[in-house]
């Protein structure tokens, strides 16, 4: 069911190759073929991954392939080619059953909660696993004719863990890399996934497996050592059935200089002035997160509520603006968190608001990045407190948007991947309302000298390890072919 009929493929391959070539304008260097669940080139409200991949493709040439987000009655493998903001894209529609089992099911009701340590929310259904496998087979079959012999293939994230193996089965011998944008869970948690070892084995068909942090890499390596009969070859190298796989800790960045410029743009300035005017001299605390239980939004509201209760003398001098655009509305757990947040916001505002002040502005919609840049610049505090996050680019965008002469303070969860790069932020345990309250009070009282020193140290890393650093670091590792050492260290469980 996962493969297209052979006669259909034979009649399409030549036509698709010509269409893919005509949609590109690249030099003689190896093209970059990016494959991800969704393709989102261009547009003002792109997420962090979309912005990063768009920047990478514009700089290096190539094509971005994935699901269109549209549903078709019958899967045909028809590809829609486009070019948006200098990025060539190729998308395919999926059947409703694919979307329900592969995307809403295995990806977002099984892997997402599990990889974010929420085994209480993870759902294990055979139909989900079957749909996940079928969709990845269909992606592999469809993208196959677009891949040239010298291309470098880069697969993104948890939706497509087995895609490398499906490409190998179809004869693709290119260098193929995989990057995981979410945490890798500890071995004992991953072991709750039925056939976890079989899923991990599919990753051994990649040449490079990338993680944001050494912590996630170490968790992966621990599973490989304990649960699989793999050989560890030196540091962060795995030998499996004659192949060598490199593991890489490579934190994603943002297009920092471009975001700094965006924060000074006319649209950003208008947003800045609008927000500042509405505050009437109060300090703004801002949170910008997709509506998701991993982001710690309920805990954030409770921490802010604790601050209001513990600091009556200053509480009316601040406003929390939480921007939380909805996502994955078809998944029940996301419906529950939206209802819970609306209830918390109403309770806190009802208990603390006055005639001229509301403590929480809760907004359920997204905004273009240039508008957000202005909001970040207007905020005295950036509140980024996920319960678990692979990286979190909002933290980096907040830092990049600040006025060097009057920077705000970043309060960051120690459980976000970004925390390992941002020790000068105020790091907090997002489960502790007391820690969050204390951090807000400290940030509001912080001197301009300390704010500048913390910001300078943090923004330096944001600029140096930007999105192009991420791309080049991963691609260098992907293009480096490993030679087998004479001695192989075998680690047994």
C-alpha 198 chain-centroid distance: 24
> Taking the chain, what is the end-to-end CA distance rounded to the nearest angstrom?
37
Nearest residue to 24 (alpha-carbon basis) of 34, 13, 37: 34
Q: Is 205 a catalytic residue?
A: no
Catalytic residue among 255, 370, 389, 461: 389
- Phi, psi dihedral angles at 489 (to 5 degrees): -85, 120
d(CA 99, CA 70): 9
- Phi, psi dihedral angles at 319 (to 5 degrees): -140, 135
Q: Is 85 a catalytic residue?
A: no
- The answer to whether 442 and 490 have CB atoms below 8 angstroms apart is no
- The answer to whether 303 and 433 have CB atoms below 8 angstroms apart is yes
d(CA 295, CA 119): 16
3-class DSSP state of 88? strand
Q: How many CB atoms lie within 10 A of CB 55?
A: 21
C-alpha 166 chain-centroid distance: 23
DSSP annotation of 354 reads B
**Per-residue three-class SS string for 212-274:** CCHHHHHHHHHHHHHHCCCEECCCCEEEECCEEEEEEECCCCCCHHHHHHHHCCHHHHHHHHH
Catalytic residue among 116, 181, 212, 352: 181
Strands 87-95 and 32-38: unpaired
d(CA 354, CA 340): 23
CA Rg value for the chain: 23
Alpha carbons within 13 A on the beta-carbon side of 19:
17
As annotated, the active-site residues are 181, 389
């Amino acid at each position: 069911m996962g493969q297209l009929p052979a006669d259909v493929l034979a009649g399409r391959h030549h036509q698709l190759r010509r269409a893919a070539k005509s949609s590109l304008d690249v030099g003689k260097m190896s093209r970059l073929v990016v494959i991800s669940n969704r393709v989102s080139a261009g547009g003002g409200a792109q997420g962090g991954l979309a912005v990063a991949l768009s920047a990478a493709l514009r700089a290096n040439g190539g094509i971005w392939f994935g699901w269109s987000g549209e549903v078709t009655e019958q899967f045909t493998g028809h590809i829609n080619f486009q070019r948006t903001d200098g990025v060539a894209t190729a998308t395919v529609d999926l059947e409703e059953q694919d979307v329900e089992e592969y995307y809403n099911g295995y990806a977002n009701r099984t892997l997402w909660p599990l990889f974010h340590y929420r085994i209480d929310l993870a759902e294990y259904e055979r139909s989900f696993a079957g749909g996940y496998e079928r969709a990845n087979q269909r992606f592999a079959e469809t993208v196959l004719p677009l891949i040239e012999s010298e291309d470098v293939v880069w697969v993104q994230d948890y939706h497509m863990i087995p895609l490398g193996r499906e490409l190998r089965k179809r004869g693709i011998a290119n260098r193929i890399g995989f990057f995981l944008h979410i945490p890798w869970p500890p071995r004992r948690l991953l072991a709750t996934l039925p056939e976890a070892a079989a899923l991990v084995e599919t990753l051994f068909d990649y040449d490079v497996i990338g993680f944001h942090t050494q912590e996630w890499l170490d968790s992966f390596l621990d599973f490989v050592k304990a649960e699989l009969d793999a050989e560890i070859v030196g540091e962060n190298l795995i030998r499996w059935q004659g192949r060598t796989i490199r593991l890489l800790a490579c934190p994603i960045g943002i297009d920092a200089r471009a975001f700094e410029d965006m924060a000074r743009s006319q649209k950003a300035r208008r947003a800045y002035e609008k927000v500042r005017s509405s505050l009437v001299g109060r300090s703004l605390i801002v949170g910008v997160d997709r509506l998701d239980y991993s982001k710690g939004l309920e805990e954030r509201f409770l921490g802010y509520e604790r601050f209001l209760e513990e600091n009556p003398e200053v509480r009316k001098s601040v406003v929390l603006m939480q921007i939380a655009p909805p996502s994955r509305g078809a998944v029940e757990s996301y419906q529950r968190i939206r209802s819970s947040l609306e209830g918390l916001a109403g309770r806190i505002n009802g208990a603390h608001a006055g005639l001229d002040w509301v403590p929480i502005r809760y907004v359920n919609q997204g905004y273009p990045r240039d508008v957000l840049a202005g909001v970040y610049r207007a905020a005295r505090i950036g509140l980024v407190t996920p319960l678990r996050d692979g990286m979190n680019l909002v933290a980096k965008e907040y830092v990049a948007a600040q006025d060097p002469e009057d920077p705000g303070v970043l309060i960051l969860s120690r459980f976000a991947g970004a925390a390992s790069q941002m020790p000068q932020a105020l790091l907090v345990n997002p489960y502790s309302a007391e820690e969050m309250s204390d951090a807000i009070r400290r940030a509001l009282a912080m001197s301009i000298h300390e704010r500048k020193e913390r910001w300078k140290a943090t923004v330096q890393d944001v600029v140096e390890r930007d999105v192009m650093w991420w791309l080049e670091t991963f691609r260098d590792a992907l293009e480096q072919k490993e030679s087998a050492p004479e001695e192989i260290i075998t680690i047994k469980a």
